[in-house]
Chain A
Amino acid sequence: MSTTVTASPTPVRPVSVPRTYRFELVKLVSQWRIRLLVLACWILPGLFVAGVSAQNTLPSDTLFGRWMHATGWAGPLVMLGFAGTWALPLLTSVVAGDVFAAEDRLGTWRHLLVAVRSPRRIFVAKVLASLTVILLLVAGLACSSTVGGLASVGDQPLVGLDGHLLTPSDAGGRVLLAWVAALAPTLALAAIGLLGSVALGRSPTGLLLPPLVALGMQVAQMLPLPVAVRLALPGYAFLSWNGLFTAPAQLAPLLIGVTVSLAWAVLATVLAHLLFLRRDFTNLAYDGGGRRAFTVGVLPLAALTALTVALIAVATDSTGITQAKVQRSLATAFAHLYRLQTEQLHRPAVTEAQLRASAACTKSDGQAAQQGAGNDWRCVVTWHLPGVPVAGTAVYQLDVGSDGRFVADGDGPKEVNGYFLVRTSTGDAPNPLWQFDGNVALLDTTSKG
């Protein structure tokens, strides 16, 4: 008996990738939950932003939330903050986390393989189709929230994270860039969803993988981890877009975050591809490859994280949150916002250079190390006005997060930063110096590399 298999090529004509992609897209779009998601992403954010903008109480715990009355450009940024935390992980799980598992659930793998005749092309088409839907959903979130904000509040200048004013066109460009930057971690989550969907088959764990990973990343960002570890996690790119709204823009963390996310996206997709080509399509009860899925799926991503941590640690100066950085950030933001308050109150114009604002900050009343996150930072800001011999002072309590974002809460004097309203010639208006958001750059401005 012969024990060899003829190796000559068979005249197999697989279906082209574009046709398979269209087939996959038809299947995805025919699902009610996908249609509902698309509809929700294109309608609800706009309604949400318009609704919140009409309220007296604003979501000031969300970045840019306190500016939603001031400009329509704050709406899409609030939505981006919310999307990075909840919406995008869930959307990617529903789409990418199910795109392979659905065939297991329906028992249609054999049908698909007989029809397409190429597992490789099926994989490519499924990846492209799920990415298309995810991009459509993200575009909906961005466009809808922008339209909602602009329609309800208007095309006004946006106050940046260091207090400087961005013109409407500049704000629009940066909002667009921020959403584009958020695509990178979204793609990373989508790739993790694909990997889970391939590796775990019909098991619901595959569907839950993107939210679980996103939750893990968020918890990690709240812990006092070294900066290199923080930046090496793909979820950091959901935060690092903040750097676009300072002057100058903090691009290094953003670029690192985007690069790390894309590296995760590529590696997880390649791993999913390898697992997919090795899976047993004849087993209808396939629920994943167990140990092989762990070895092929998890270990390389862990290795990538370790490598990234090492690279970032070597290539960057990452002193984290230091006293000097906190003082510099607070003083800069105060100076910019003081000018804004000056304009509101129709006082004589003054420049940041004339103000010569500085801050003196201590943590835990000087009893602990003067660095790191915490809500026990207390700062005294000092500034000067032309022709006034005495320097002004104002007190702030700072709550500094592990990711460098801080909320400065004014402690007086009342006429400067102690009350949430200021009395202008046209009536009461929000006091920009009372509470504001700021950002401490985790990386130093010069890199070693």
Chain B
Amino acid sequence: MDALHAVRARGITKCFGDVVALDGVDLDVTRGQIHGLVGPNGAGKTTLLGLLLGLAVADGGELEILGVPVGRAFAAPDGVAGFVDGPGLYPSLTARQNLTALAELRGRQARTAGIDDVLDQVGLTDVADDRTRGFSLGMRQRLGLAAALLTRPRLLVLDEPSNGLDPAGKRHVHGVLNRLAADGTSVVLSSHRMDDLEALCSEVTILATGRVVFSGPLGKLAAESRELDYRVRTSDPEAARRLADGTDGIKIADDTGRQPRDADVLVVRAPVPALDALVARLVTSGVAVRELAPVVSPLEAAFLALTEDRETSR
């Protein structure tokens, strides 16, 4: 029994006919950690989340969830909640009735189950008595999260929880997930939104074609990343260009076509030390630096690099 990890997977394989969805996947999720799962479409993320939720059984390998070995039954141990491919809601029931039915399924009284509390946590108190038939995708996602919270999970498994969320909804969901993690609940979530993962996750696992191509802290991922492109907005673009051209390790990369052309912006490709040197030279030359930011996030850059490498090697 592993007291440190909420999930411990070793060599997990899962096939659907001739298709290998997961091929020797290892995964460690520390208790109280928010762990991101990233990968291109068809990488096996949903299959892996389905295994954690007990919706499928692995063909090979070892899987422990909350310290308990998973057998061949189609069911997850107690303490696991979440959803894949969107939450399951019954449109003929109101938000409150959906949660009440779920609470009573678990043998709890609706009045003491904390329904109002979880509705408040996800920001759906105002629409608690509306039928979910008319709910937007973001509202459905939040109600799905509320349903999962109702079971007081120790492991929360979420597939694309940020889909369809407006900024307020996103703030609610992030707040809930951070509070859960702080209280010791482990969260495994998949997302294509790199900004979400960077904001929430302490560790990520990158999957490509059913295999793990990276697993570890975000910092380690950034260190392993190749050079990034940065947008530099200055008070004197011409001077900035000249200075960048003369700085070791800096390459002008503003013709990449990724962004609409902006005369004030210079795009450079550089490792962090060379970028630091460029900033120092700009400042000493009297050129004001008004914006400095990576064109794509380190996680996205690493994701693209690792998954593109994988695709190329195939």
Contact = CB atoms under 8 A, between A and B. Distances in A.
Contacts of A5: 57-63, 70-72
Interface string A323-358: 000000000000000000000000000000000000
Interface stretch (B28-36, B79-87, B178-186, B223-231): B79-87
A11 B75 CA distance: 10
Interface in A19-34: 19-20, 22-23, 26-27, 30-32
A19 B105 contact: yes
B91 A8 contact: no
A2 B53 CA distance: 22
**B11, B59, B97, B105: residue with the most chain A Cβ atoms closer than 10 Å:** B105
Nearest to B102: A115
B261 interface: no
Nearest to A5: B58
A106 interface: yes
A111 B76 CA distance: 12
A10 B71 contact: yes
A7 B58 CA distance: 11
Interface string A70-105: 000000000000000000000000000000000000
Contact of B53 (A19, A20, A110): A110
Contacts, number: 139
Interface string B264-283: 00000000000000000000
Contacts of A112: 88
A195 to B, nearest CB: 21
Interface stretch (A116-124, A392-400, A401-409): A116-124
Contacts of B81: 114
Contacts of B24: 1
Contacts of B58: 5
B47 interface: yes
B296 interface: no
Contacts of B97: 26, 30
Contacts of B73: 9-10, 12
B76 A108 contact: no
B75 to A, nearest CB: 4
Contact of B74 (A4, A13, A119): A119
Given A30-B93, A110-B53, A116-B105, A7 B61 contact: no
B11 A1 contact: yes
Contacts of A282: 46-47, 50, 55-56
B104 A19 contact: yes
B257 interface: no
Interface in B100-116: 101-102, 104-107
B61 A13 contact: no
A48 B188 CA distance: 59
B68 A10 contact: yes
A419 interface: no
B128 to A, nearest CB: 16
A109 interface: yes
B92 A30 contact: yes
Contact of A26 (B50, B60, B89, B101): B101
Contacts of A23: 101, 104-105
A23 B78 CA distance: 19
Given A2-B10, A108-B89, A7 B105 contact: no
A18 B63 CA distance: 31
B134 interface: no
A350 B83 CA distance: 79
B60 A13 contact: no
B11 A3 contact: yes
Given A7-B72, A27-B93, A2 B55 contact: no
Interface in B1-50: 10-11, 13, 24, 46-47, 50
A106 B105 CA distance: 19
A14 B13 CA distance: 26
A286 interface: no
A6 interface: yes
Contacts of A115: 102, 105-106
A15 interface: yes
A6 B62 contact: yes
B149 to A, nearest CB: 13
Contacts of A110: 50, 53, 55, 83-85, 88
Given A13-B78, A19-B104, A107-B85, A114 B54 contact: yes
Contacts of B76: 12, 114, 117
B83 A114 contact: yes
Nearest to B144: A111
Contacts of B63: 5-6
A113 interface: yes
Contacts of B11: 1-3
Given A26-B101, A284-B85, A11 B68 contact: yes
B249 interface: no
Contact of B70 (A6, A26, A284): A6
A98 to B, nearest CB: 13
A107 B55 CA distance: 14
A420 interface: no
Given A5-B60, A8-B69, A12-B77, A22 B54 contact: no
Interface of B: 10-11, 13, 24, 46-47, 50, 53-63, 68-78, 80-93, 97, 101-102, 104-107, 144, 147
9 contacts: A6-B70, A12-B78, A27-B101, A106-B88, A109-B88, A110-B88, A111-B87, A111-B89, A119-B74
Give 8 closest A-B pairs by Cβ, nearest first.
A111-B88, A108-B88, A117-B75, A3-B60, A6-B69, A1-B11, A12-B75, A30-B92
